[in-house]
């Protein structure tokens, strides 16, 4: 990283919508990292651990377990988007615009807005807090989501590289290839999701286009940049076809694969968004279930 006095000026007129900035991450690239989670995703995978990243706009989390039904939120909502029904606040999400007035009014912290607008300088303030740790560990910054290309990550990536940070991105390839091409000069490492190699199944479960994702993967292979393929392993979706998926990835020329066993840790967030979690009854996968897939190219990651 450059010293403070050497830092170049950065663009300050762009507003990113960020769900969180996680410090001291150790599983999303080399060394100690800060992970910036972007809001917005073109896919809607039913096992998603971060469903609050689907929409680009800020959204309201409502925690039923904390709500006493006091109605303070009803009184302050300028949109009349909230009512108390059967002793609990209920939000009309078609009307709510995430203004956050109810979060200030609620004494029980049952309302919370997810998604904060931040400029690049504001994001950099958070990132710089851990400069000494990145330096000591060979770490850096990872952009994740959601799908980072649902917004335009290039100005932020460019600012990060100009400030001397190692940059990694986590992406899934469901967007125009030109966006990735424009960003590549500012990216040091790519984590790319591969969810399935059966086009019909991929489309049905996630909405993704297999041909488009394959184009992205071919481009990445040709780019010569380091790429790690991540396969979320989901019972009832791809667990039984895992070997076929690994073969597809290997045939494309990739030799680093991480298998991420299913975990239901997003369940609470689905509930707070009033969405039915399709994997409610599916238990967390035991990593040892995947041991037989471990080889020189494949590691078992996750929880």
Give the SS3 label for residue 300.
Answer: strand
Query: Using CA atoms, how far apart are residues 303 and 298, in angstroms rounded to an integer?
Result: 16
Q: How many CB atoms lie within 10 A of CB 93?
A: 16
Residues 81-100 binding ligand SF4 (CB under 6 A) are: 81-82, 84, 89, 91, 96-100
Name which of 82 and 208 has its Cβ closer to ligand SF4.
82
Name which of 62 and 246 has its Cβ closer to ligand SF4.
62
Least Cα distance to 216 among 191, 241, 236 occurs for 191
Cβ-contact 199, 179 below 8 angstroms: no
Name which of 26 and 92 has its Cβ closer to ligand SF4.
92
Name which of 63 and 209 has its Cβ closer to ligand SF4.
63
Of the listed pieces 80-88, 150-158, 208-216, 241-249, which binds ligand SF4 according to CB under 6 A? 80-88
Cβ-contact 61, 114 below 8 angstroms: yes
Query: Using CA atoms, how far apart are residues 131 and 75, in angstroms rounded to an integer?
Result: 45
Beta strand 16-25 with 82-85 is: unpaired
- Output the smallest distance, CB 115 to ligand SF4, in A: 11
105 binds ligand SF4 (CB under 6 A): yes
Eight-state DSSP code of residue 237: T
Of the listed pieces 37-45, 104-112, 211-219, 267-275, which binds ligand SF4 according to CB under 6 A? 104-112
CA distances from residue 49 to 79, 131, 145, 215, 267 in whole angstroms, order as listed: 29, 28, 10, 26, 7
Residues 116-175 binding ligand SF4 (CB under 6 A) are: none
Choice from 60, 118, 148, 156 touching ligand SF4 (CB under 6 A): 60
Q: How many CB atoms lie within 10 A of CB 135?
A: 14
Least Cα distance to 130 among 122, 140, 121, 116 occurs for 140
Choice from 2, 15, 24, 71 touching ligand SF4 (CB under 6 A): 71
Sequence-distant (≥ 6) Cβ neighbours of residue 223 within 8 angstroms: 184
Choice from 70, 177, 297, 300 touching ligand SF4 (CB under 6 A): 70
How many residues belong to the site for ligand SF4 (CB under 6 A)? 28
68 binds ligand SF4 (CB under 6 A): yes
111 binds ligand SF4 (CB under 6 A): yes
Name which of 96 and 183 has its Cβ closer to ligand SF4.
96
Choice from 2, 27, 44, 79 touching ligand SF4 (CB under 6 A): 79
Query: Using CA atoms, how far apart are residues 146 and 170, in angstroms rounded to an integer?
Result: 9
Name which of 97 and 280 has its Cβ closer to ligand SF4.
97
- Per the structure block, which two tokens stand in for 240? 């039984």
Query: For binding to ligand SF4 (CB under 6 A), which residues are involved?
Result: 60, 67-73, 76-77, 79, 81-82, 84, 89, 91, 96-102, 105-106, 108, 110-111
């Amino acid at each position: 990283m450059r010293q403070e006095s050497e830092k170049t000026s950065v663009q300050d007129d762009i507003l990113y919508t960020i769900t969180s900035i996680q410090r001291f991450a150790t599983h999303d690239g080399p060394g100690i990292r800060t992970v910036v989670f972007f809001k917005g995703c073109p896919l809607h995978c039913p096992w998603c651990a971060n469903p609050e990243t689907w929409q680009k706009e800020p959204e309201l989390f409502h925690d039923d377990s904390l709500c006493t039904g006091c109605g303070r939120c009803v009184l302050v909502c300028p949109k009349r988007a909230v009512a108390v029904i059967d002793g609990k606040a209920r939000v009309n999400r078609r009307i709510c615009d995430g203004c956050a007035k109810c979060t200030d009014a609620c004494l029980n912290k049952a309302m919370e807005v997810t998604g904060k607008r931040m400029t690049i300088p504001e994001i950099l303030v958070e990132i710089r807090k851990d400069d000494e740790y990145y330096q000591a560990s060979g770490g850096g910054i990872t952009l994740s989501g959601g799908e980072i290309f649902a917004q335009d990550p290039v100005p932020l990536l460019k600012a990060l590289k100009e400030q001397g940070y190692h940059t990694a991105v986590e992406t899934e390839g469901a967007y125009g290839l030109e966006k990735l091409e424009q960003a590549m000069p500012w990216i040091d490492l790519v984590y790319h999701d591969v969810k399935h190699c059966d086009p019909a199944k991929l489309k049905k479960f996630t909405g993704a286009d297999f041909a488009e994702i394959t184009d992205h993967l071919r481009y990445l292979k040709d780019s010569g940049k380091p790429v790690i393929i991540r396969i979320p392993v989901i019972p009832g979706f791809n667990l039984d076809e895992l070997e076929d998926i690994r073969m597809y990835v290997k045939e494309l020329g990739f030799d680093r694969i991480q298998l991420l066993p299913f975990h239901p840790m997003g369940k609470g967030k689905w509930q707070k968004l009033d969405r039915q979690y399709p994997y409610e009854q599916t238990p967390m996968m035991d990593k040892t279930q995947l041991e037989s897939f471990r080889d020189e190219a494949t590691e078992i990651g996750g929880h």
